[in-house]
Structure 1
Amino acid sequence: MKDFILLLAEIINTLHDLIFAISNRAGWNLTDKDLHLWVFGIVGILAFIVVNVVFKYLAQFSITAISFIYTFTVLVVIVFAIEIQQKLTGRGNMEFHDAVISLWGFILFFAGYLAIKGIYNLMKKFFYKKKH
């Protein structure tokens, strides 16, 4: 877990340093707050563009796929927040494996949901054909 967080921090710090160096060469003298605005602005808009394209494509097939991705993303944030909280408070162990297992729990329950939904839809089609 610690290594994963450090990797993410390194990526963001590298982007931060790159923008800082470019701004200094250009004579802009950006503050740390300005850098945060630019770094998260760039990362955010790039993420939005990718997510928007993917979601528009998925919407053609099923809103369930979009709901799954959104829910999974929210759970990733919650799981990592809990792991970090455990590290800060000393209540529990901050472990990457715990985060992975937590997310697997959602994936397994979601697979069960899809199986039940699939069986229901098949039964609905079967009984609809028998009536007509």
Structure 2
Amino acid sequence: MKEMIILLAEIVNMFHDLFLRLSQSFGWNLTDKELHFWIIGILGIIGLIFVDILFHALAKWSITAISFLFTLSMVLVFVLAVEIQQKITGRGAMEFNDAAISVLGFLAFCVGYFLIKMIVKWVR
């Protein structure tokens, strides 16, 4: 897990430096805060458009699908936060396998929930 976070941090730093150099080469001389404003703003709006299109399509099929994706994203953030907290406090090991098993637990319980929901729907 630690290695994965370090790798992601390196990738983010590489893009940060690239965008900073690009802004300087165009003569914009953006500060770090301005760079964050533009990059996160642009990435965020692209993400919003993608998610909006996806969720509108899913809404025609199933609200449960939207609920699942939203909850999955919350679980992923929570699992990452727990692993980081374990590293900071030294209470437990920060491992990718811990995170993977945590998400697998969520998915297993979701399968059970969906099966029960399907059975109830069939019975009705």
TM-score range, shorter chain: over 0.9
Aligned-pair distance for 1:113?
Answer: 0.4
Aligned pairs for 1:6-85 within 5 A: 6-85=6-85
Secondary structure, aligned partner of 2:103:
helix
Please give the alpha-carbon distance, in whole angstroms, between the structure 2 residues aligned to 1:88 and 1:114: 36
Task: For CA contacts below 8 A with separation 6 or more, give which structure has more relative contact order.
Answer: 2
User: Which residue does the alignment assign to 2:91?
Assistant: 91
For the aligned residue pairs, the C-alpha RMSD in angstroms reads: 1.2
Count of aligned residue pairs for this structure pair: 124
Please give the alpha-carbon distance, in whole angstroms, between the structure 1 residues aligned to 2:31 and 2:51: 30
Please give the alpha-carbon distance, in whole angstroms, between the structure 2 residues aligned to 1:65 and 1:39: 29
Structure 1 stretch 35-44 or stretch 55-64: which is displaced more? Answer: 35-44
Secondary structure, aligned partner of 2:28:
coil
CA gap 1:103/1:11 in 2 versus in 1, 3 angstroms = same
- Unmatched 5+ stretches in structure 1: 125-132
- Unmatched 5+ stretches in structure 2: none
Task: Give the counterpart letter for 2:93 in structure 1.
Answer: N
User: Which residue does the alignment assign to 1:104?
Assistant: 104
Structure 1 stretch 111-120 or stretch 7-16: which is displaced more? Answer: 7-16
Once the two structures are aligned, what percentage of the paired residues are identical?
Answer: 54
Structure with max Cα Rg:
1
